[in-house]
Amino acid sequence: MRYIPFSTLRKARAFLIKSALAAVALLMFQAAQAEDIATLSTIKTDPALAAMVPKIYRERGTLVAGVNPDVKPIKFVDDDGNFAGFTPDLLSAAAKVLNLKVELTQTSFDALIPGLSSGRLDVLLSLADFDSRHKVVTFIDYLDMGDTLIVSPKSTVAVHSYSDLCGLQVALPRGSATVPKSTEISKECVKSGKKPLSVATYPDSNMTLLSLSTGASQVAWVDSPVGNYNASQFPEKYKVAFYAALAPYGIGFGTDQNGKQLAAVMQLALQKLNEDGVYGALLKKWGLDTKDGRPLFPINSAKL
């Protein structure tokens, strides 16, 4: 019997262990990929819910959805030029339950509601739910929304609350709820003898954040999913200086007043997706906190 040195056996054993671990890692990666693919590809149409879809949409078979692809992970344009993100996935999944297809059309933020009111769009993807918008938009809320005040990691500006914004250059997404809120804060600054906010608005959250890189602003004020995601993905560019976990509103898909029946059946489709585990899987896929989820998908739940 040929003698094999112990050191050789040890090296062989180490090699086999590494190979086994690599194989397990590969299988786990492939399983995760398969799970992501299966999340949308295995969704079945629910005939009972599909029959509840208003006739105008059922006969057409397609929902025209306006989307302002502002920033990851909510809605954006990927490297291949396709719409991607949590909300396109979620709407596509709900539409599949209802035996509908989705046609996404790029729309600027401030043109979303006019597009819905004119009948050019069937669904908005997506918008903050405010009571003042209920006259023209019916919301199906799918996330709670918080606030983040973002600064450059190199900045010496200290922002621990909204009152610390006095005298600073603040960037906001145009048409967002932060615009009137910033006006109120600015008035409070003046009342307390401090300088008002210097506010600049931008077409979307992405441009709002980029204003920090150009030096056009000292603080970017964006919704928490957008702010937290970008701060974690690009720590060399963005830092969360202040985070308010609870905001008195959510964001959701919007339909017009004639689409209230569509909103009701879409709510049921989304609830089914939650029961089937699809909603939770999509939150996880796009790095969103389940604590921000709204698994009951309330309609017009705004508190202000």
* Domain identity same for 101 and 173: no
d(CA 271, CA 291): 17
Higher pLDDT, 154 or 29: 154
63 occurs within a structural domain: yes
97 occurs within a structural domain: yes
Whether 3 has a pLDDT exceeding 60, the answer reads no
80 occurs within a structural domain: yes
If one counts every other C-beta atom within 10 angstroms of the C-beta of residue 191, the result is 8
| Run of H or E including 96 | helix 86-97
Interval 60-72 mean pLDDT:
90
What digits encode the pLDDT tens for the residues 193-222?
Answer: 999 999 999 988 889 999 999 999 999 999
What pTM, to 2 d.p., does this model score?
0.69
pLDDT value of position 252: 87
CA of 68: how far to CAs of 155, 255, 285, in Å? 29, 15, 21
Q: Which residues of 64-99 are buried (b: 16+ CB within 10 A; e: fewer)?
A: bbbbbbbbbbbbbeeeeeebbbbbbbbbbbbbbbbb
d(CA 94, CA 119): 21
Interval 284-303 mean pLDDT:
84
Interval 95-117 mean pLDDT:
94
* Domain identity same for 113 and 197: no
* Percent of the chain residues past pLDDT 70, beyond the cut: 85
pLDDT value of position 220: 97
Interval 275-300 mean pLDDT:
88
pLDDT value of position 269: 97
| Run of H or E including 67 | strand 62-67
* Percent of the chain residues past pLDDT 90, beyond the cut: 57
64 occurs within a structural domain: yes
When divided into structural domains, the chain yields a total of 2
* Domain identity same for 227 and 274: no
User: Domain range for residue 129?
Assistant: 41-145+248-292
* Domain identity same for 284 and 192: no
4 occurs within a structural domain: no
* Domain identity same for 152 and 238: yes
25 occurs within a structural domain: no
pLDDT value of position 130: 84
Residue 217 φ/ψ region, left for φ over 0, alpha for ψ in the -120 to 50 degree band, beta for the rest:
beta
If one counts every other C-beta atom within 10 angstroms of the C-beta of residue 301, the result is 17
pLDDT value of position 223: 85
CATH of the domain at 57: 3.40.190.10
74 occurs within a structural domain: yes
* Domain identity same for 55 and 110: yes
What digits encode the pLDDT tens for the residues 162-178?
Answer: 999 999 999 999 887 78
